[in-house]
Amino acid sequence: MNLALPRPVPAIPSEAVNVIEPQPNPETVEALLDTTWRLTEAEAARTDALDRKAATVASFASVLATLTATLGVRFVERLDTWWALAIFIVGLVPFVASVGLAISALMPREYLTLGMAYIRRLPTWSEILKQPEQVRGDAMRGLVEAIAVERNTNRAKVRSIRWSLRLLFTGLVLITVEAATLGVNEVTS
C-alpha cells in the first residue's frame, strides 16, 4: 500500500488569471445616453405643459370664485335665509380650493439635470482620464436620477390638476344651482 501525499497545486500568479470583464460597446453607450437626453427633454416638456394647464385652471377658477363671491352676495341678500347662505358658501369653497390646488401645482421647483457635484468633478484628472464610455455612463446615471425626481414631481402636479378640475366642475354645478334658485325666486315673487 502506497500512501503518497497528494501533490500540491502550483500557485498561479494573479497576473496570469484571465478574467473576462465585460466591456461596454461604445455605440450602445452613446445610443443610451442620447435616449436619456431625449427622455430628459420630454419630461421637461411635460412639466411645461402641466404648468400651462395649472395656470389656466387657476386663472379660470379664480375668475369664477370672484364672480361667485360678487354675485353670491346678491343671492344671499335677496333670499335672506340660512340655506341661501349655505348654497353660497358651498358653491364658493370648491372654486377657492380649485385655485389653491392649481397654484400648488405651479409652485416653483428646482430644474433638475446633472448634479453640481458631478459637474464640479468634470475638469479633474480622475474624470479626464476615464474612458469615454465610462464618462457617458456616469452622465447617463445622473440624468436618470433627475428624470426620476422630475417624473415624481409631475405625478404630483397631475394629481393636483385633476383634483382642481374636479373641484372646478363641482363649483360650476353648485353655482348653477344657486343661479337657478335665484331665478326661480325672481319669477315666483
pLDDT digits 0-9 by tens, 6-48: 565 555 555 555 567 777 777 888 888 888 889 989 998 999 9
Per DSSP (E only), the strands in 19-154 are: none
The predicted pLDDT at position 170 comes to 93
Q: Is 75 exposed, middle or buried (0-12, 13-18, 19+ CB in 10 A)?
A: buried
Work out the percent of the chain whose per-residue pLDDT is above 90.
30
87 alpha carbon, distance to own chain's centre = 35
The predicted pLDDT at position 72 comes to 79
Q: If we measure between CA atoms, which residue out of 116, 114, 106 comes closest to residue 154? A: 106
Q: Is residue 91 part of a domain?
A: yes
Q: Is residue 37 part of a domain?
A: no
Spatial neighbors of 62 by CB under 8 A, at least 6 apart, are 95, 99
Q: If we measure between CA atoms, which residue out of 135, 118, 140 comes closest to residue 33? A: 140
Helices then strands, each counted (H, E), the chain: 5, 0
Q: Is residue 127 part of a domain?
A: yes
Enter the C-alpha cell of residue 2: 502506497
Give the three-class secondary structure for 153: helix
- For 81, the domain range is 46-188
How far apart CA 112 and CA 42 sit, in angstroms, is 13
The predicted pLDDT at position 11 comes to 57
Q: Is residue 64 part of a domain?
A: yes
162 compared with 69, residue with greater pLDDT? 162
Q: What is the pLDDT of residues 113-148, one digit of tens each?
A: 777 777 787 777 877 788 888 888 888 888 888 899
Q: Which amino acid is at 137?
A: G
Q: Is residue 140 part of a domain?
A: yes
Q: Is residue 102 part of a domain?
A: yes
The predicted pLDDT at position 28 comes to 82
Handedness of CA 65, 67, 73, 76 (dihedral sign): negative
The predicted pLDDT at position 19 comes to 67
The predicted pLDDT at position 99 comes to 93
Taking all residues of the chain, what is their mean pLDDT, rounded to a whole number? 82
C-alpha separations of 156 from 79, 117, 136, 149 in Å: 41, 27, 30, 11
- The count of structural domains within the chain is 1
Q: Is residue 30 part of a domain?
A: no
Q: Is residue 24 part of a domain?
A: no
How far apart CA 59 and CA 65 sit, in angstroms, is 10
Average pLDDT over residues 47-63: 93
